[in-house]
A and B are shown apart, each in its own frame.
Chain A
Amino acid sequence: MHFDVAALYKAIPALFWGATVTLRVTVLSIVIGLLIGIVAGLARVWPNTFLRTVASAYIELVRGTPLLVQIFLVYFGLPALGLNLDPFVAGIIAMGVNSGAYVGEIVRGGIESIAQGQMEAALSLGMTWWQAMYYVILPQAFVRILPPLGNEFIALLKDSSLVSTIAIAELTRTGQIIITRTFKSFEIWSGVALFYFVMTYAISRVVKYSEKRLRYSE
């Protein structure tokens, strides 16, 4: 077997640049996903039936269709409605909306894992549903939400390779481009994989660390 280390070495600056694009896409998608997901998750446990139904429909629709199709729908589909989006913007919107559904389920699960008695005790003290959520339920739920949220971030980072299909020069796309020039498939894909791994491992460490810091004895 021949592994052309020099070819990989030469590709590192370009791959590194690709990785920063991947990070940007991922971080922005996470932010959008978190915002949507927190709202969707709260709506799912809200006393109001209408909001619950809307949130459920959104979550079912998004989880029931492939992310790749969602990306195509936003990038190639929306222009039919007169909405021409830059690939980067289309990419983070599709990924953010997609992630929001999963985050929503994570948030709902976390909230529902907190014993019903906590809400009842807070309400009995005269707190509003919101106050009870904010001061009593969410701080406890957050500790339980963190690990699955970390998994979601990692999944999202890896799934961001799908936006390579709409010509965003992120890590995967950069790898492809280099290979069309150098034909060093094995070396470059190994390098791409390594870059992904370093980033996912970093996320997983950060999540582990915050988990430890936030843990209180229950």
Chain B
Amino acid sequence: MSEWIIQVQNLHKYFGKHHVLKDINLNVAFGEVVAIIGASGSGKSTLLRCLNGLEPIQAGEIIVDGVAVNGKTTDLNRLRQSIGMIFQSFNLFPHMTVLENIVLAPQKVKKIPRKEAEAIALNLLGKVGLRDKAYSYPSQLSGGQKQRVAIARSLAMNPKVMMFDEPTSALDPETVNDVLDVMKELAREGMTMIVVTHEMGFAREVSNRVIYLDDGKIVEEGTPEEIFYHPKNPRTRSFLSKVINV
């Protein structure tokens, strides 16, 4: 068993002729919290979507938990069970209650009995502070509550790594912290996390490593300390000066 949960080598991604990701090399160790920052259109979200096979790649290799994501014989459905994915727009299932949202995949994919799945779900809802919303529908929740349900839904599959695609970008400012608190708690518990984010405070405070992506390339990476206080690359410096009001 390697110490890496994710290994990316010489990854290239194109949308038609548009070269979106250029020679990405990235390893993530178990227990690490990696923040990916960069301007809109820099390829951050695309990179994340490549990691769980939502986007096909044109060159290179991605290995998650020892399995090649783009391998011809890879059972992607199986691999995805160990990769939690949180979307900017939550993507809760609107025709199901919160509880049903959470138990669906454990029940149908992992064949966990309903009772047991519900116990797990209620427990996770407690953890994200929404136990009283179990029988509500997504439309009755605020954005921050929806995102916390989405996190509980992912955790119910007991993933080895959680990926967050701008989890707080669609939220009202007053609900952002509820979501960030849940994520901090997860990090404290040792969950491996990859977070694409515009929340520089969160990246600085919670992550072990920050990756700055610009125009499809990893321009700079290092500890939060290095990236936020001693950025070497002029492009990193210029980006940070725009997003952080010191």
Interface of A with B (CB < 8 Å)?
Answer: 115, 117-118, 120-128, 131, 135-136, 139-140, 143, 216-218
Contact = CB atoms under 8 A, between A and B. Distances in A.
B228 interface: no
Q: State the main secondary structure of chain A at its contact with B.
A: helix
Interface stretch (B26-34, B65-73, B87-95): B87-95
A124 B104 contact: no
B85 A121 contact: yes
B91 A123 contact: no
Interface in B103-133: 104-105, 108-110
B137 interface: yes
Contacts of A126: 77-78, 80-81, 105, 109-110, 157
A159 to B, nearest CB: 33
A117 B87 contact: yes
Contacts of B89: 115, 117
Nearest to B53: A123
B154 interface: yes
Contact of B77 (A123, A135, A140, A217): A123
B153 A125 contact: yes
Q: Which of A126, A135, A218 has the most CB of B within 10 A?
A: A126
B83 interface: yes
A125 B93 CA distance: 12
Contacts of A124: 52, 54, 80, 83-85, 154
Contacts of A118: 91, 93
Contacts of A139: 95
A136 B84 CA distance: 18
B54 A120 contact: yes
B139 interface: yes
A76 B226 CA distance: 82
Contacts of A120: 54, 85, 87, 91
A115 B95 CA distance: 13
Contact of A131 (B109, B137, B157): B109
B137 A217 contact: yes
Given A124-B54, A125-B109, A127-B108, A117 B91 contact: yes
A218 B139 contact: yes
A122 B109 CA distance: 11
A123 B84 CA distance: 11
A115 B84 CA distance: 20
Interface string B48-76: 00001010000000000000000000000
B139 A217 contact: yes
